[in-house]
Every structure is written in C-alpha cells, then in structure tokens.
C-alpha cells in the first residue's frame, strides 16, 4: 500500500514492526511495515522518526516528500537497491549514440498515442449525447494521429541533432490534446485555457500538477531500482537539479494514470468551488486526488500477454529500459488501451 501523510502536525514513527501515525500525541493508526511499499509526506509541519527511516531503507520502502502543490522535494531510498554500474555507464554512452534517439522517439510516440487513446476513451460517451463535441474531438484525434506518423520520419541521428524536431511534434500534438481535454471537461472548469505547469492558478491545472507530483515520485523510484541515473535524460536537456530521465520516462504514464484520474474525477463530481485558494488545493481535495491517482496506479492493464497493475508495469518498463541501454533487448514503450 501507499501511505499518504497529508495533515499539519502529523508524526510518523516505528513501533515494533509497524508504522505508527500520530497527531498531537494521539495514535491515529498503525500499519505493518510489510504492507507498505511507499510513504509520502505531502504537508508541512510533519515529523518522521529516524528509526522509521532506517526501517524503510532496510525494507526497500521509498519515502517521498512533496510540497502543497505536489512538487517533489526529496526522495529517500536505499543505496543498496540500485542496479549495477554498467547500466549507468551504458545509459551515459547512449546520449552520444543513436540509441538515445531511438528511445526518445519511442517515448514521444507512446505519449502521443496515450493522448489519442485517452481522448477516444472519453469521446465515446459523447457520441450520442453531444455529437458536435464528439465530431470536434474526432478532428483532434485525426491531427494527433498525423503527429504520431511524423515521429517515425525523424532520422536516427544523435539526440542533439533531432531534439528540436521531436519537441516541435510533441508541442503541436500537445496543443491538439489539451484542446480536446478542454472539450471533455466543458463548462466544469471554464477558466482552463491550456496546460500550465508552475504558477498555475486554475483548478484543473493545479489538480493535474498535484497528481503529476505523486506519479513523479513513483517514476523516480522505479528508475533508481532499475539502476538508472535519474538526471541523465535525452529529450529533456540537462540542467542542475533537473532529473531529465524522470521527465522523459514519465511521459508514457501521464495520460493513463493522472489525466484519466483527474478528468474522471471532475466528470463525476463537477465544479469544486472553494477548493482552490492562492494556487493551493484544499486538504480534502488533495487527499481525494491522491486516492484517485493511487487507484489508477493499481488499475490492471494488459501487458505482455498478462494482466498487471500500472504500478507493476512502471517498474517493469524501467527494467526494460535498463536492459535496452545495456544492449540486451528492444525497448517497447507502454501504450494503454481505450
């Protein structure tokens, strides 16, 4: 299970072989360590004991720290759970070879295909109830399909020589996608004008950013467990403090995990007045988003002729990527169904 701590004045520590959660000295609950795979602290003013940190490291439990908007602040994991150094050496070498471009094209294609599938999934419910919106969504899908074809025409040259082409395709597809999303959420969030990252002031973007923060921590942990270097990416350029590979790899999973969860949440509950103040989501809404994202991570998908949760698929894809850099196999990105 994923243990989410989101409340001022909370404290968590180790009691026997259990995680004990308290508020102002009162024990709220206890959870066996063996039942936990992640702990996330998404609040200020919380306390975690060093005994619990040690126990988590020894048991392979990742600890994440997020700010109020969902932006990752830190991650604690065991240094003994990483893969061999050969994986990271091969990953760095791939940047100067076509291997890095092959991977970049794969994840751009997967991202665009998952965007296409998400719009198709939600559009099918409009076919009979709102045919003008359905027809407009079909246009968006057609344009994204053309963008996907463009990715295949990008030459396999070192990534520095083709990054601009891939980003241009990704950007044009993204504009079509978010226009489609705006049609899907309709009047529920009328202030949504397009995708915004940091500094977002509308409810929908803030909900997305919070959900992405939760997914971001899951992705980072999966890459580390696979022995990969989170800061050595390909499509996202290197900058101090920027985990470029995390930003590359997360693109395969934004739509099936977070976008799906947030669009469905808005569709079910409608507008949420009073749940956003100065760019800060209310604690109940943050808790609900975390629950819905976790539900999506535990949703079962068809993967390589078997049924697996998205959480398990993320870890398998990270290991597949490590094997790809080592030259042991092809890399096939994850594409969700619709």
321 & 205 share domain: yes
Domain extent, residue 34, equals 2-66
> Could you tell me if 151 and 28 lie in one domain?
no
Whole-number pLDDT of residue 81: 57
pTM above 0.85, yes or no: no
Of the candidates 308, 252, 260, 314, which has an alpha carbon nearest to the alpha carbon of residue 121? 260
Q: Domain check: are 135 and 261 in the same one?
A: yes
pLDDT at 277: 79
If you search the block for the tokens 């790809």, which residue do you land on? 324
Please give the pLDDT value at position 83: 57
207, 262 in Cβ contact below 8 A?
yes
Q: What is the CATH number of the domain that holds 316?
A: 1.20.120.920
Q: What backbone torsions phi and psi does residue 280 show, to the nearest 5 degrees?
A: -115, 120
For residues 167 and 314, membership in a common domain is answered with: yes
Per-residue pLDDT at 141 = 96
Instruction: Please check whether residue 309 lies inside any domain of the structure.
Output: yes
- Rounded to whole angstroms, what are the CA distances from 18 to 25, 40, 52, 222, 266? 17, 16, 9, 24, 36
Helices (H) and strands (E) in the chain, counts: 10, 12
Tokens of 325: 């850099």
Please check whether residues 137 and 282 belong to one and the same domain.
yes
Closest by CA to 253, choosing from 115, 70, 159, is 115
The span from the CA of 28 to the CA of 5, in Å, is: 12
152: left (phi > 0), else alpha (psi -120 to 50), else beta? alpha
Chain centroid offset of residue 275 CA: 23
Please report how many Cα atoms fall inside a 13 Å half-sphere around the Cα of residue 17, on the Cβ side. 6
Q: Quick one: pLDDT at residue 271?
A: 57
User: Tokens in use for 38?
Assistant: 């992640």
Task: Examine residue 158 and state whether it is found in any structural domain, yes or no.
Answer: yes
CATH number assigned to the domain comprising residue 44: 3.100.10.20
Q: What is the pLDDT of residue 266?
A: 86
Do 128 and 231 reside in the same domain of the chain? yes
Residue 259's closest CA among 205, 316, 321?
A: 205
Which pLDDT value is given to residue 326?
Answer: 92
In this structure, are 13 and 122 located in the same domain?
Answer: no
| Whether residue 266 is found in the same domain as residue 151 | yes
Residues 6+ apart with CB under 8 A from 151: 105, 108, 109, 112, 166, 169
In a domain, residue 62? The reply is yes
Mapping DSSP to helix (H, G, I), strand (E, B) and coil, where does residue 63 land? strand
**Per-residue burial over 291-310, b = 16 or more CB atoms within 10 Å of its CB, e = otherwise:** ebbbebbebebebeeeeeeb
Q: Output the tens digit of pLDDT for each of the chain's 338 residues.
A: 788 888 778 889 998 889 999 888 889 989 998 888 888 888 778 889 999 999 988 888 888 888 767 777 888 877 765 557 889 999 999 998 898 999 899 999 999 999 999 999 999 888 888 889 999 999 999 999 999 999 999 999 999 999 999 999 999 999 999 999 999 887 777 778 888 877 777 888 989 999 999 999 899 989 988 889 999 999 998 888 789 999 999 999 999 999 999 999 987 766 566 687 777 888 888 889 999 999 999 999 988 888 999 999 999 999 999 999 999 999 999 998 87
Same-domain pairing of 57 and 89: no
* Count of structural domains within the chain: 2
CB distance 235 to 248 below 8 Å = yes
Nearest 10 degrees: CA dihedral of 178, 181, 185, 186? 70
């Amino acid at each position: 299970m994923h243990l989410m701590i989101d409340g001022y004045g909370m404290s968590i520590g180790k009691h026997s072989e259990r995680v004990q959660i308290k508020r102002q000295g009162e024990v709220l609950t206890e959870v066996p360590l063996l039942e936990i795979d992640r702990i996330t602290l998404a609040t200020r003013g919380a306390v975690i004991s060093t005994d619990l940190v040690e126990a988590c490291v020894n048991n392979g439990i990742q600890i994440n720290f997020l700010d109020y908007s969902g932006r990752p602040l830190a991650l604690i994991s065991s240094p003994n759970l990483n893969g061999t150094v050969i994986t990271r050496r091969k990953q760095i070498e791939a940047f100067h070879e076509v291997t890095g471009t092959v991977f970049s094209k794969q994840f751009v294609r997967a991202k665009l295909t998952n965007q296409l599938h998400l719009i198709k999934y939600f559009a099918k419910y409009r076919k009979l109830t709102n045919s003008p919106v359905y027809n407009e969504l079909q246009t968006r899908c057609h344009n994204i399909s053309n963008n996907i074809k463009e990715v295949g025409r990008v030459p396999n040259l070192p990534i520095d020589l083709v990054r601009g082409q891939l980003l241009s395709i990704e950007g044009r597809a993204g504009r079509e996608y978010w226009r489609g999303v705006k049609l899907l959420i309709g009047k529920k969030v009328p202030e949504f004008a397009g995708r915004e990252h940091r500094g977002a002031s509308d409810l929908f973007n803030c909900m997305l950013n919070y959900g992405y923060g939760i997914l971001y921590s899951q992705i980072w942990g999966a890459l580390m467990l696979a022995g990969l270097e989170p800061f050595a990416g390909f499509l996202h350029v290197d900058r101090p403090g920027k985990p470029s590979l995390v930003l590359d790899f997360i693109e395969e999973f934004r739509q099936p995990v977070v976008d799906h969860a947030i669009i469905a949440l808005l569709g079910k509950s409608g507008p949420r007045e009073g749940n956003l103040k100065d760019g800060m989501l209310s604690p109940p809404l943050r808790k609900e988003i975390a629950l819905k994202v976790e539900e999506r991570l535990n949703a079962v998908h068809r993967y390589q002729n078997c049924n697996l949760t998205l959480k398990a698929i993320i870890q398998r894809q990270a290991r597949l990527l490590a094997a790809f850099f080592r030259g042991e196999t092809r890399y096939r990105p994850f594409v969700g169904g619709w």
